[in-house]
Structure 1
Amino acid sequence: MLGQTTVPLVGLVDTAVIGATGDAAALAGVALGATVINLIFWTFGFLRMGMTGMTAQAAGAGDAPEVEALLLRGVAVGLVLGVVLFALQLLLIPLAFAALSGGGALDDAARAFVGARFIGAPAGLAVFAINGWLFGVGRTRAALALQIVMNVANIALDLMFVWHFDLGARGVGLGTSCAEWIALATGLLIVGRGIDWRRLGSAALFGGGALKRLFAVNADIMIRTIALLLLFVWFTNAGARLGTVPLAANHVLMQFVSVAAFVLDGFAFTAESRVGHAIGARSEAQMRRAIRLTGEFSLLAGLGFALLFFLAGGPLIDLLAANADVRTQARALLPFAAAIPLIGVPAWLLDGIFIGATRGRALRNAAIVATALYIVTDLLLRPFGSIGLWWAMLLGYAYRAGALGLYLPALLRGMKTAAPE
């Protein structure tokens, strides 16, 4: 949980540094640019999610060579995919912005941010794999250390590029990209010491259908991730359609949601690791215990975040945004952002359970259904402006939980039949 608390600090720092300038267009541009980056980079989020489930299952089965091979396989794939993204940015960036409602100074700031962020693509995707592997083997302190290094570097570099060199939105992107490369170097130092390199030849890493299995397991998770990313892109684009101030206000409030989601994902990651170990060990009792305990703690933490945001959200908004109009709009919509930590708990926890079980098909189908229902809901509520936008987002989390919850009985029945006598 401590490690996950630091993850959204990247977005928080980016928002606070550019928000302190009082430039609503620059803040909105970073919001739009961050949406583009999330859509493109987190398409490959299976490098984190799938890696955790596969590593935990291999560890639970006592297959140490496969645990180590998974790490190097994931890092190699992440670096290659990142290089491909960097090479294709001249094609990907125009395509992404063609689908979004921006224009003028807003687009200029967003494009500057996105172009700078692509410099960190190879490192960012490789760090996905390292984090997933660390969670899978239960090395959460190492994951915390890695995230702290990245965030300290991001804070220092953001301040230098934006406040000292006055690079605006581009400086925010450069700071984060450089921090990702520093995190990759740190991550490789952390995990490299425990690897037995003598037993990891190319055959162990990439032979015997290893890569085929990696992508087969994660193809459905990739589709699931794209579907959920489209949901958030739709939300951001709908805010951009309402104007610069609503978009900037939504971005500020989404930092609250991001903090709650990442911290509560600490319980979900625990579920991923514990459920994966239970399946590797073929233990139904371990699996039920993991679901019960993480569920109880998630519910309590979600309630705590909802109360915190509702009571202290106003001063936090003032801390993140200097523009008076943005502050007013964000305060008016604060109750919706405060409700999401509680409403989102079942969706985040069920994600962790099914990722740990590597049940990609259930994740894929539930995400597609939830995103489709969310879009229909948003269209129906569009006459209500920003209020309708946030109601649709709240219902989107409920749709995710409901669609995925339908698959839970089958997962438990499968463990019962697989459990040893």
Structure 2
Amino acid sequence: MNTTYSTAEKWKQFAVILLPILVTQITLSAMTFFDTNMSGRYAPADLAGTAIGVSLWNPIQTGLSGILIAVTPIVSQLIGRQQKDKVSFYVIQALWFALLLAVVVIAAGFLFLKPILAGMSLETRVHNVAFYYLVALAFGIIPFFGYTALRSFIDALGQTRISMMITLISLPVNVFLNYLLIYGKWGFPELGGVGSGVATACTYWIVFLTALIIVHRGSAFAEYAVFRHFHGISGKGWLELARIGTPMGFAIFFETAVFAAVTLFMSSFNTITIAAHQAAINFASTLYMIPLSICTALTILVGYEAGAGRSKDAQSYSRIGIGTAVALSLAAAVVLLLWGKNVAGIYSRDPDVIAMTQHFLLYAIFFQISDAIATPTQGVLRGYKDVNPAFFLTFISYWIIGLPVGYVLAKWTVLGPYGYWVGLITGLAVGAATLLARLWVVQRRFRDQSMKQQ
């Protein structure tokens, strides 16, 4: 991480940090994309089953990962304050915490997965694919959370290219295993959509072990000696991670869970509608990797500047990041308007699924623009370690406003399933506006505090 003095230097630093994060996030998203896409090409019922499984897993995955991402602002601010000797302690505590979270998720799945799926009135094939997809994925939960903790540490140091290379290794492995296990090639069992769950679990293990070796032996991490000394479980360390990470995790959870809730509500419609909705959501989630990557980059950069007490530099990075996200979201909107049918054709060969997916993608234009404002703004707030208000603002925006509006429109207007998407647009727009207002307050307060300390 380098101190910057001009706008040009900040743009360069921003790009150096952002681009590998973007490649990493797109690669991680691509795993879900290929799970969905390759299952959809196997059969519509497998696409729908995988969609249900992904929708149940994603909020848990992203929400609990958000707690572990607390490593990023903690380490960034420690480096900004030149307190590098404290870094290894927090990384090890994050790994212990990751193990705890994984065990809790697996236990919860054992107790509640069957009742949840049974209450959704799914077709038999869809139900079975969803159930066994998640059972297979459970074997990869421990390495997934472990990798999240290590990646947050790697990124906090500005070594985002290393995270990118580790994750890039995973994609061809995941696609190849999907090919073998979904379609039953080269003597492997033909598992359909369930095979994508097995493939993803195996990939998580490969990624985690690769990251573990690099952090332990890589020259870029030698001065932090993460595994040189044993750190047992520390209540103080867990409390710090929980204090910052829990609001972050819940804020992420509320945003991703509202999309999952909509998918679950979609189960009351036919298989074509479920498949089309999931295809459109999957592509929108891929686009979401852009503001999400900018969010992570801003947490690192603003955290570094905030730790050093440089308020003007922190504000400059926030303007650069949010402005970039908005510009890219407008470019994505043009792509969806011009080539929406081509995008829909990536996910299915069924003409009814393609037509409905294209219609859903028109609604995706509007909420991904709101995401381009709200998500990077949350990244800036995390850099300042201001996380509690975002937790409440996202809950109100998505669950008190967005989801009820969508439910009413879907149930009692001619919009039908599209009503849920209008609700999503409403909630995301409110979230973007309120988070921007909170950022203005935080930056003003931080600027005043910095001036007093000078």
TM over 0.5: yes
Give the RMSD, CA atoms, in angstroms.
Answer: 2.0
* 1:91 alignment counterpart: 111
**Given the superposition, is the C-alpha separation of residues 60 and 390 from structure 1 closer, same or farther in structure 2, using an over 3 Å criterion?**
same
Distance, in Å, in 1 between the alignment partners of 2:121 and 2:310 is 50
1:91/1:338 CA distance change after superposition, 3 Å: same
Q: Secondary structure, in 3 states, of the residue corresponding to 1:385?
A: coil
- The residue type paired with residue 446 of structure 2 is M
Query: How far apart, in 2, do the equivalents of 1:335 and 1:287 lie?
Result: 35
**Given the alignment, which residue of 178, 188, 199 partners 1:175?**
199
Matching of residue 236 in structure 1 with residue 263 in structure 2: yes
Would the aligned equivalents of 1:134 and 1:142 in 2 still touch at CA under 8 Å? Answer: yes
Q: What is the CA–CA distance in structure 2 between the aligned matches of 1:106 and 1:67, rounded to whole Å?
A: 46
Aligned counterpart in structure 2 of residue 139 of structure 1, from 159, 162, 168: 159
Alpha-carbon distance between aligned partners in 2 of 1:363 and 1:102, rounded to the nearest angstrom: 35
Equivalent position SS for 1:167: coil
Q: Structure 2: which 5+ residue stretches go unaligned? A: 1-21
The residue correspondences of 1:96-245 to structure 2 (distance < 5 A) are 96-97=116-117, 100=120, 102-163=122-183, 164=185, 165-193=189-217, 194-195=221-222, 196-197=224-225, 201-202=229-230, 206-207=233-234, 209-245=236-272
Unaligned 5+ segments in structure 1 are none
Kindly indicate whether the alpha-carbon contact (under 8 Å) linking 1:268 and 1:349 is maintained by their aligned counterparts in 2. yes
Q: How does 1:29-108 map to 2 (within 5 A)?
A: 29-97=49-117, 100=120, 102-108=122-128
Show structure 1 runs of 4+ deviating over 6 A: none
The alignment status of 1:414 with 2:445, answered yes or no, reads yes
- Residue-by-residue CA offset, 1:217-244 (whole Å, 9 max, x unaligned): 2222233233223311221122222221
Q: CA deviation at 1:121?
A: 0.6
2:424 corresponds to 1:393: yes
Give distance in 1, aligned partners of 2:395 and 2:235.
32
Quote the Cα distance in structure 2 between the aligned partners of 1:101 and 1:271. Answer: 43
The CA deviation at 1:394 is: 1.5
Out of 110-119 and 353-362, give the one that drifted further. Answer: 353-362
Q: Identity percentage over the alignment?
A: 20
Over 3 Å counting, the alpha-carbon distance change for 1:96 and 1:356 in structure 2 is farther
Residues 244-282 of structure 1: CA distance to partner in whole angstroms, max 9, x if unpaired?
111110111112211111122221111111111121111
Judged with a 3 Å threshold, the aligned counterparts in structure 2 of structure 1 residues 401 and 95 are, in CA distance, closer, same or farther, namely farther
Tell me whether 1:302 sits opposite 2:325 in the alignment.
no
TM-score scaled by length of structure 1: 0.94
Evaluate the alpha carbon distance shift between residue 89 and residue 254 of structure 1 in structure 2; reply closer, same or farther with a 3 A threshold. same
Is the Cα–Cα contact under 8 Å of residues 18 and 169 in structure 1 kept in the other structure?
A: yes
Distance in 1 of aligned mates of 2:310 and 2:117:
48
* Deviates further, 178-187 or 142-151: 142-151
In structure 1, what is the Cα distance between the partners aligned to 2:373 and 2:121?
32
Q: CA deviation at 1:199?
A: 8.8
CA contact (8 A) 2:67 2:248 kept: no
Instruction: Please give the per-residue CA displacement for 1:39-63, whole angstroms capped at 9, x wherever unaligned.
Output: 3333312244322211211121111
Whichever residue aligns with residue 389 of structure 1, its letter is Y
Q: 1:101 to 1:129 in 2, by over 3 A?
A: farther
Amino acid in structure 1 at the alignment position of 2:448 = T
Task: Give the counterpart letter for 2:23 in structure 1.
Answer: L
Contact 1:250/1:330 (8 A) holds in 2: yes
The superposition leaves residues 326-370 of structure 1 with CA deviations (integer Å, 9 ceiling, x where unpaired) of 112112222112333323211111121122222221121111111
